[in-house]
Amino acid sequence: MSKNAVYAPLFDLAGRRAIITGACGTLGPAFAAALAEMGASVVVSDIDASNAEALAAELAQAHGRRTLGLSCDVSNATAVDEMIERAVQAFGGIDILVNNAQAANPNPSRYFDPLEHYSFEEWRRRMSVDLDGMFLVAQGTARRMAKQDTGGAIVQIASIYGALGPDQRIYEGAGFRGAPINLPPVYSAAKGGVIGLTRWLATWGADKGIRVNALVPGGVESGQNDEFVKKYSQRVPLGRMARREEVASSLLWLVSDAASYVTGQTIFVDGGLSAW
């Protein structure tokens, strides 16, 4: 690195301590790998303890960083507090939160029910993780960050469908891992709430040195059938779905000092879909 380097050091995360919730989902492993590669110590949190521990071990071996795998149900306030306390005890503080957890789909047929028959029980189950859990983790982490002289950076993972209505036509004939899919209203409502929560937290945290932004990925290839991929890609100016590392690269910017004057923003990584 040049002795006069100005910009490269801004992306260096050496010494930073990060928590990632939902770390074993679609984007979580890419987020964790990106942070570890850039020097951060990483707490890998997921509802499945064995998966979290396995991912933490993999990261430690690949990148030589301190890691910790923890189980956490983010819809449970006590579990969230315990997870954050264990992270602080292990690493001494929290500099980065990637608030990424969302509910699993143990019964896809209920999750993808049409509006006319959508169960309020299923609505509440999803909201308890996708929005309530976001609040609980952000609240507990921000409380810790506010006590630190260094503040911190929080990135909340939202979605284009928290800001845009879905094009229902792309779901005609769409499938995911062999089952038909659609875009349920609860998903849009939760992700829209994440964006609003992000803006509130950003104004609350500004004088405490805590930056809070929402990262808004477009569609990422993760097992959808060819029909969906084709139709979705036709709606995107860049003509394709996103790759995981493209979303993770944007995350790295937001949590780094390169984005030190960026807070309260909704950053779209969607191939231009929202520009139509």
Residues annotated as part of the active site: 187
DSSP 107-138: SHHHHT--GGG--HHHHHHHHHHHTHHHHHHH
Neighbours of 253 (CB within 10 A): 16
Q: What does each C-alpha distance from 190 to 69, 170, 242 come to in angstroms? A: 26, 21, 22
Beta bridge partners of 274: none
Residues 6 or more apart whose Cβ sits within 8 Å of residue 208: 145, 146, 151
Report the distance separating Cα 13 and Cα 63, nearest Å: 13
Residue given tokens 């229902």 in the structure block = 168
Secondary structure (3-state) at 253: helix
* Sign of CA pseudo-dihedral 230, 232, 237, 239: negative
DSSP 128-172: HHHTHHHHHHHHHHHHHHTTSTT-EEEEEE--GGGTS---GGGGT
Which helix (H) or strand (E) segment holds residue 226: the answer is helix 226-234
Relative to beta strand 41-46, strand 96-99 is unpaired
